[in-house]
Structure 1
Amino acid sequence: MDARHRRSRAKLADAVLRLASERPIDEVTASEIAAAAGVNRSTFYAHAASPLALLESVLRDELDALRDRYLASIPDSSVPRAAAAEAVTAVTLAVLENIESHAAIYERGLLADAGGGHRGETSLRPMLAAHFEESSRQLLAQHALFPSDEEEAADPLLAAMVGPFVANGSVGAIAAWLAQPEPRDAEAFLRSYRRLVPPWFPLAPPLSAAGSRKGSCTSCSSYPALHIRRARDGRGAAAR
């Protein structure tokens, strides 16, 4: 990607996030996004086929960057599960913070509409699930999910089921968290999430009353509770 393409991409990303925070993405046109970004329609379509496709791509890029930052530090099977648990806990908190910074967008894209269903054509659930499924595949490849390589190799169906199982459950859990009143507490999410995920899923121990994490993982206390509030840059404006 050359410098000009990157600049156009950055302008389009800012524009689609701003407009999608103000109203549903299915009410936003390609022409509006292009005008807000200061580019022409042909430039828009060089980056995305539709406003929703652009929005999904921008959000997915942000989430993937967080995964790369935290999970790439996990070497292969020589690393103790405690290290993987720290990385997964840290990236989970970072993902929640990112989602909260785009709260209006994710509320529209994840929560039920007034009729009790989901807007299938503008739902962000498939995008978010695809991100988590890829994260699960990466953890599996890094031998960070199961106690031993033998267990993974012995049941290929189990390995194939891990990604969809973790991904779709995590999306549902995040949607339930987003439906809670502000301020939303990421540590509260983790407390409940730990009770839902199976024992083989790596998460750091919970915080003790003193603010450090319980258990033998001495460096886990580097991930404090995040009492996340919506960003004040306009992207987190409530969708009401």
Structure 2
Amino acid sequence: MDPRVARTRRSLQEALLELARRRPLDEITVGDIVERAGVNRSSFYQHYTDKDTLLADALEVAIGEVSAPIVADPDYRMPPALVAYLEHLAANAALYRRVLGPHGSALVANRLRARVHQIAQEHLAYADAGIEGLPADIAAAGIAGSALGVVTAWIALDPLPTADVAADWVWRTLLGPGRAWRPADEVTS
């Protein structure tokens, strides 16, 4: 990518994130973003079709910067990158409450779900840990939905529990319910 293009996109992303930490998204205009970024309006539209697309890109970049790839662990230990990712969400809780809340950004939520789905599919393939009779993409969709559901419920809490607590909730949700769904005689044997 041309360094000027990357620099302009990064300026726009940082400007929107900075503004969104202080004001509700629906109050932020493209004019506010370009002014903060130090670029003109036409530069915005050369790179982004709308504010939601810019926000989705900005959050993907921010998340990528704060967390290492989530690596599968054959012993089912919680990946440290999950905590780092949730620490990013906690540090930007007001913004994530807005985008993941009932009147949030469907685009951002869908892109986040797609990213978690991709990670889940990669790990199912890596660990050769599919669920018998269930296609990997369907299992990955269930994992993504569960993880995002826990994260959305956590980020809505006030006061916000720590990222460590949320990571434990996500991890236990992903690993734990299977035992509860088996018939009682299988669980005790």
> In the alignment, does 2:63 pair up with 1:63?
yes
Structure 1 residue aligned with 2:114, among 117, 130, 134? 130
- Measured at CA, do residues 144 and 193 of structure 1 come closer, stay the same or move farther in structure 2, by a change above 3 Å? same
Q: Distance in 2 between matches of 1:165 and 1:122?
A: 18
> In the alignment, does 2:85 pair up with 1:95?
yes
- One-letter code of the match for 1:81? P
Identity %: 29
Given that 1:24 and 1:108 are in contact with CA atoms closer than 8 Å, whether structure 2 keeps it comes out as yes
Given that 1:25 and 1:52 are in contact with CA atoms closer than 8 Å, whether structure 2 keeps it comes out as no
TM-score (norm 2): 0.79
Between Structure 1 and Structure 2, the one with more helix by share is 2
Count of residues in Structure 1 that have an aligned counterpart in Structure 2? 178
Give the match's secondary structure for 2:127.
coil
The alpha carbon displacement at 1:15 in A equals 0.4
Q: Which runs of 5+ in 1 are unaligned?
A: 75-79, 112-117, 202-240
- One-letter code of the match for 1:29? T
- Measured at CA, do residues 195 and 7 of structure 1 come closer, stay the same or move farther in structure 2, by a change above 3 Å? closer
> In the alignment, does 2:182 pair up with 1:198?
no
Q: Distance in 1 between matches of 2:123 and 2:88?
A: 21
Q: Which runs of 5+ in 2 are unaligned?
A: 179-189
Aligned equivalent of 1:140: 124
- One-letter code of the match for 1:163? A
Structure 1 residue ranges (4+ consecutive) displaced by more than 4 angstroms after TM superposition: 64-67, 120-123
- Measured at CA, do residues 122 and 20 of structure 1 come closer, stay the same or move farther in structure 2, by a change above 3 Å? farther
Q: Distance in 2 between matches of 1:161 and 1:180?
A: 29
The alpha carbon displacement at 1:126 in A equals 1.7
Give the match's secondary structure for 1:61.
helix
The alpha carbon displacement at 1:127 in A equals 2.5
Aligned equivalent of 1:40: 40
Given that 1:137 and 1:163 are in contact with CA atoms closer than 8 Å, whether structure 2 keeps it comes out as yes
The alpha carbon displacement at 1:59 in A equals 0.4
